[in-house]
Chains A and B, each alone.
Chain A
Amino acid sequence: MDGSVYPNKDVIVASKTVVNIFCNNETEHQAKKKYGSEEWCEANYGQICDEHVANHNKTSSMFFNGTIPNPTSILCTPDGKEITRKKGGISGKELIDMMKEATAKVGAGIGQDEYLFGKGKLKAAADAVGAKKMKDAIEALNAITKAFGKNAAAKPLNDQAQAKLKELNDAGMAIIEAAKADAAADKVEDARKALKDVYANYKGLECSKVAEKEMAALPKAK
């Protein structure tokens, strides 16, 4: 395989339309090359040798009976069923054409950059919830629904964001119910404080509007 294939910018662009996995059970190359503060396998950025050896051990029997002709490039469906393969060296153009053929068969999907954006926002939302920064969590989740709401191929990401927004709304509604109970028990100022918190920190969700109405219905502060 020509060493210029994977670093080729057109191949890199095409690689974002698929998920790539590197399988090599040899480690004669430098196992721990320093890349900035990271230590990765010399052959691949972002990977350690144990990973490409494990990938080889896991997948070789799935795609070969006996000897493995190296290099071999295989394109599969998302669940791992082979679509096409090419034994031996391959040019950048051939690899790009294989990726195009496979993506056409699989149908509309989302690119790697969009996927990483969505995953990054989901993680940011989870971190924000952990830090009790609900406004930030809602903002991150809304960024997903705004970016992918009309993209059918991004439904899994959009569904995850919607589910998290519903969870947050439910949490806000639970706080409102507790506040209403406090108000009924004459703990009006406690109730006001809780409702104000939901109104301010859950903006964009239904519970924020409900909290605003419930605050207006409370007796005025003395």
Chain B
Amino acid sequence: MKVLVICSALLVTVASAFAGDRDKKEPKPGQIPADYIHWAHSWDEAVAEAKERNVPIHVAFHKDH
């Protein structure tokens, strides 16, 4: 009986360890904030929308680092 309990505990531990690895590899789904800056999908789309709304275009140039 003792052997059976020990084996079960080991199995749970090993399974948890694998689950932990999987969680690390697959990022958890991000949460979409209630509000955020909406970015145009293309320059042409930005110009078309800006003309229709009669508003300026904010062009943000960035690098990763």
Do A and B make up one complex? yes
CA distance A78 to B47 in the complex (A): 6
Q: A6-B37, A19-B50 are in contact. Are A73 and B64 (CB under 8 A)?
A: no
Contact check, A55 vs B37: say whether CB atoms are below 8 A apart.
Answer: no
Contact check, B61 vs A15: say whether CB atoms are below 8 A apart.
Answer: no
Count CB-based A-B contacts (< 8 Å).
183
A162 within 8 A of B: no
CA distance A28 to B32 in the complex (A): 21
Contact check, A24 vs B64: say whether CB atoms are below 8 A apart.
Answer: yes
Partner of A20, one of B40, B47, B52: B40
Partner of A29, one of B39, B53, B61, B64: B64
Size range of the chain A interface in the assembly: 35 or more
Binds A, one of B2-10, B12-20, B23-31: B23-31
**Additional A-B contact list (19), CB under 8 Å, known A24-B61, A34-B28:** A20-B39, A21-B46, A21-B58, A22-B60, A26-B65, A45-B32, A55-B42, A70-B63, A71-B61, A74-B58, A75-B58, A76-B59, A78-B55, A80-B43, A105-B56, A106-B56, A110-B53, A110-B55, A153-B53
A-B contact pairs, 19 of them (CB 8 A): A18-B55, A20-B39, A20-B46, A20-B60, A21-B40, A22-B39, A24-B63, A27-B64, A45-B36, A46-B36, A63-B59, A70-B62, A71-B63, A76-B50, A79-B50, A109-B53, A110-B53, A110-B55, A115-B49
Q: A residues within 8 Å of B by Cβ?
A: 1, 6-7, 9, 11-12, 15-24, 26-30, 33-36, 38, 43-47, 51-52, 54-56, 58-60, 63, 68, 70-80, 83, 95, 98-99, 102-103, 105-112, 115, 153, 156-157
